[in-house]
A and B are shown apart, each in its own frame.
Chain A
Amino acid sequence: MKKLLILSGKGGTGKTTVSSSFIKLSQTEAYADCDVDAPNLHLMVDIPSESTTKSFYGLPKANIDTQKCTDCGQCMEHCRFNAIKNNDGYTVDFYACEGCGVCEYVCPTEAISMQKATAGNLILYRDNTVFSTAKLNMGFGNSGMLVAEVKNQLDDEAPDAEFAVIDGSPGIGCPVIASISGVDMVLVVTEPSLSGISDMSRVIDTAEGFMVDCAVCINKYDINLENTEKIEEICRNRNIPMTGRIPFDNMVVGAVNNRISITDINCPAGNAIKDVYHSTMKIFKTETGEIE
């Protein structure tokens, strides 16, 4: 399965709108949402009819048995995450605990045990298409592990699919790094603001650090033409192909809220996304060796 990952660095540039359009246009049988902190793709696509949900266990969380605890404080002294508190007896801050197990190891009275904790849900929608997604519980870490599960589920459930679209998360940290691994190309959706440019450059640095090639498209390009040209120049200098400009279009919000694909409406943004899709796929197919 060849995979195209859609990232942006900055949030709210239009990743999910572009992803859902690509899913529609490519009629792909396999797609995934790796933004496990704040998944939105399910709000934008025709969800396959059947769904199954599995609990995702991240790393275990420490638990102190107050009966066995002798208040020696070893656990608190060794915890590097400030997850052990002492207010009339030692307790574990459930959300700060990263599950390393050091406290359990240093406790002289075996008062601490590591206990399984549900960190989120892994969700699979399927009929003749496979949609793999997940939701991390509030306040949990381990998002990279859950992202890996989302991608494994996609591979396992759609072994014959030739092409998959993956919607990524904002930022450049652990979930983004986990989503980059094993994809064939990254499409960065940016916007012509100085914030968008800064975040785009950081996400490209991250992807290239993991040896994955990028292409870039600019959403809402007409908000600031000068910055649009700046982005194109940065990409030219970095040898990163541009796959198009999408205009700001009032039709998009209405379409999004009514679950209508913007590509099904004859409007400037919808038409531009189709062009972006075709240029992106041309580069993608060259990258993956489908076109010489």
Chain B
Amino acid sequence: MGVNKLKIAILSGKGGTGKTLVSVNLAAVCNDSTYIDCDVEEPNGHIFFKPVIEDKSDIKVLIPVCDDAKCTGCRACVEFCNFNALAHVNGSLMIFEDICHSCGGCKLVCPENAITEKEKTIGKIEIGKSNETNVISGIMNTGEESGVPIIDELLNRDFIDTYNYFIDCPPGSSCTVMESIKDADYCILVTEPTVMGLHDFKMVYELVSLFKKPHSVILNKCTIEYNPAKQFCLDENINILMEIPYDSELALLNSQGKIVARESRKFNEMFSILLETVLKEVHK
């Protein structure tokens, strides 16, 4: 993605705090926007947007193939492979495709040139449109170990030319999340009022701080009870964009896969105000 674009990543650490709710609804109320679902293991954005798919592409990685006629059983590849994806058993090379990281090392080290590579599909990217919003989803095939190549592709290819991008990140704070926020201009952290929400929020807070990403917080599912996450933000001086109260109407619409900002004036106003607040923060 080039210049003159604004990329906002939405992350949470803990799952189920409302990342997708926030990303989908912000993208829906924003003009000239694209929603990108980087939670490729469990992509949910398309359930809400129900986009008309305009383009689709398979994501492929390279995995080794061994020519048994050329293989002398020297095991150089087996020893080289740090992922334990190769074993030499009963005179032939066994390749465990699911744990292969596609580094290409085995092919390089083979003295007999017995190893070549073939493509293997690990998932797909779907590009579509829902009303005026562009929707790009990465979907990993079940049984695959890593969605990183799909996320790479999602973020590095110029699919659609809009100004605003909303990136829905995976849960956690591991390599996939880092990949998702790497090029973001701004990060929104969504959390919930539980000790678990706070624990995982602290991890992503550390992550965005490490990468020096400007960031703010949305406190979701707030009740009148004590909110440990809010207390933490106040103590640490972290900017709170909005407190979204727990609302059974919102929960029901959301569970039905509906975009709340498109269904009700109340929620449309709420997310429009949120968007305005976010954009003000971004341009500070």
Question: Does B140 contact A143, Cβ atoms closer than 8 Å?
Answer: no
- Interface contacts (Cβ under 8 Å), in number, total 182
Question: Does A224 contact B196, Cβ atoms closer than 8 Å?
Answer: no
Expressed in whole angstroms, the Cα–Cα distance for A253 and B105 within the complex equals 50
Q: B-contacting residues of A (Cβ < 8 Å)?
A: 8-13, 16, 37-38, 40, 43-44, 59-60, 78, 80-82, 95, 98-102, 105-106, 136, 138-141, 143-144, 169-174, 176-177, 191-196, 198-199, 202, 205-206, 209, 223-224, 227, 250, 253-254, 256-257, 259
With contacts A195-B20, A223-B255 known, is A38 near B14, CB below 8 A? yes
With contacts A10-B15, A59-B82, A138-B207 known, is A172 near B174, CB below 8 A? no
| Complex interface residues of chain B between 139 and 157 (CB less than 8 A to chain A) | 140, 142-148, 152
With contacts A40-B14, A173-B146, A173-B147 known, is A105 near B175, CB below 8 A? no
Question: Does A223 contact B171, Cβ atoms closer than 8 Å?
Answer: no
**Closest A residue by C-beta to B16:** A12
Instruction: Give the dominant DSSP class at A's interface.
Output: loop
Question: Does A199 contact B42, Cβ atoms closer than 8 Å?
Answer: yes
From A82, A205, A253, A259, B225 is in contact (CB under 8 Å) with A253
Inter-chain contacts of B83 with A (CB < 8 A) = 59, 100
With contacts A40-B196, A105-B108, A174-B145 known, is A202 near B14, CB below 8 A? no
Expressed in whole angstroms, the Cα–Cα distance for A251 and B206 within the complex equals 31
Expressed in whole angstroms, the Cα–Cα distance for A5 and B200 within the complex equals 21
Inter-chain contacts of B13 with A (CB < 8 A) = 38
With contacts A138-B207, A194-B47 known, is A95 near B20, CB below 8 A? no
Name the distance in Å between B207's Cβ and chain A's nearest Cβ. 5
Expressed in whole angstroms, the Cα–Cα distance for A124 and B168 within the complex equals 34
Inter-chain contacts of B225 with A (CB < 8 A) = 253-254, 257
Name the distance in Å between A195's Cβ and chain B's nearest Cβ. 4
Name the distance in Å between B49's Cβ and chain A's nearest Cβ. 12
15 intermolecular pairs with C-beta atoms under 8 Å apart:
A37-B171, A43-B199, A81-B103, A82-B152, A98-B103, A101-B80, A101-B105, A141-B148, A170-B172, A172-B42, A193-B257, A194-B257, A195-B257, A206-B143, A257-B228
